[in-house]
Amino acid sequence: MNETRTWIRPALWALLIVSLAANGVTSSLGVNLFIASGFGLATLACAAALAVQHYRSR
């Protein structure tokens, strides 16, 4: 693994957890649909980036 990119995986995991929690809170509170959808898309993007990084490092 490239030493300059060791921060990417922990940052993606942190963003995934934060966006997942924010998506759950905004969805359950009935906040504007666009805001909740934005957090949902951020969650999907982080999960996809983690999957890509996993398969590239195998």
Can you give the residue ranges of every domain in the chain?
9-56
How far is Cα 6 from Cα 15, in angstroms, rounded to an integer?
15
Q: What is the value of pTM for the model shown?
A: 0.84
Backbone angles phi, psi at 21, to 5 degrees: -65, -45
How many other C-beta atoms can be found within 10 angstroms of the C-beta atom of residue 43? 20
What confidence tier does 57 reach under pLDDT thresholds 50, 70, 90? confident
What confidence tier does 49 reach under pLDDT thresholds 50, 70, 90? very high
- Reported as a single tens digit per residue, the pLDDT across 4-44 is 678 899 999 999 999 999 999 999 999 999 999 999 999 99
CA nearest 27: which of 16, 17, 15, 40? 40
Q: Quickly list H helices, 1-58.
A: 8-29, 33-56
